[in-house]
Amino acid sequence: MLDSGEIMANRWIMAARPKTLPAAIVPVWCGCVLAWKLTGEWSAWLAFCTVAGAVCIQIATNFFNDAIDADKGADTKARLGPTRVTASGLLSRRAVYGIAMVFLLLAIICGVVLFRAAGWPILWIGLPSLYLAYGYTGGPFPLAYRGMGELFVVAFFGVIAVSGTVYVQTLQWREEALLLGFQVGLLSAVLISINNLRDRAEDATTGKNTLAVRLGELPARLVIWVEIKMAAICGIFWFKHSLPNFAAVSLPIWLLGGYLSWRCFREPIGVGLNKWLAVGGMLLVLFAIVFQLSALF
């Protein structure tokens, strides 16, 4: 039987949503691999600070999302996904907001190290990222409530995260990083799309106008298919950059991603989609593993 401390710790872990962290880790992981492939060098210390900052921003975003959705009544008893700690009363709204700010502070500390190493471009990346940890669901223009969640993920958890990581490591803006970031961002967006498909009916009743709510059920399923196929097709552009080995990263996207998109077409709206959400996370990690292996040859 769990004691009170263990119960409280489990609640904080639940609110942090550790299953979402690959979306923060994979862009930095792949960006470091690409930087090493392009230059033959990489800094483990800068890589650690980059991934730590990204993870802290992701966790802060999750805490803000938990509290803000509860404030707006977006997490109801009809919820099909994991329990949200603020709406369910497991943690107080004040505590959840407070820990979100703590993680933003930790992200800023990591950002100071990166700023000293790479200069002003870190501010151009870091300041919007810090704001959008809150602004994804809060503020005057909450992206998640405007159907812009997928676009946000492709941009910030894909193109910007990968390009920024490569810049920190090389002090160069590389076109190859844009290609890699687009692939990573699309695969990360699959997670948001499956999540929004699952929650479409609930979101429609609470004013959370996600892309799935705006488009309807069938187009929302099609979005997942498009994201996966675009990520796979982008693999051919590695030939343009004289890095043909990286075209191999499309293989798991075609295979596991193809199966995932097919299942997302057939799976009824309900808790069954949670399983395929987990498979989407596996696909993202598998992409990073194959990308790293491809860099060795």
Give the model confidence (pLDDT) of 25-63 as tens digits: 999 999 999 999 999 999 999 999 999 999 999 999 999
Q: What is the full DSSP assignment across 107-151?
A: HHHHHHHHHHHH-THHHHHHHHHHHHHHHTTSSSS-GGGGT-HHH
Structure confidence at residue 74 as a pLDDT band (50, 70, 90): low
What would the two tokens of residue 90 be? 């497991």
Model pLDDT, residue 76: 62
Confidence check: pLDDT of 2 > 60: no
User: Which pTM value belongs to this model?
Assistant: 0.93
Closest by CA position to 68, among listed 179, 159, 145, 152: 145
- Residue 222 and residue 263 in contact, taking contact as beta carbons nearer than 8 Å: no
pLDDT for residue 71 is more than 90: no
Q: Side-chain half-sphere of 22: how many Cα atoms within 13 Å? A: 21
Q: For the segment 90-138, what is each residue's pLDDT rounded down to a tens digit?
A: 888 899 999 999 999 999 999 999 999 999 999 999 999 999 999 998 8
The alpha carbon dihedral of 14, 18, 23, 24 has a sign of positive
Which of 194, 188, 191, 189 is CA-nearest to residue 269?
194
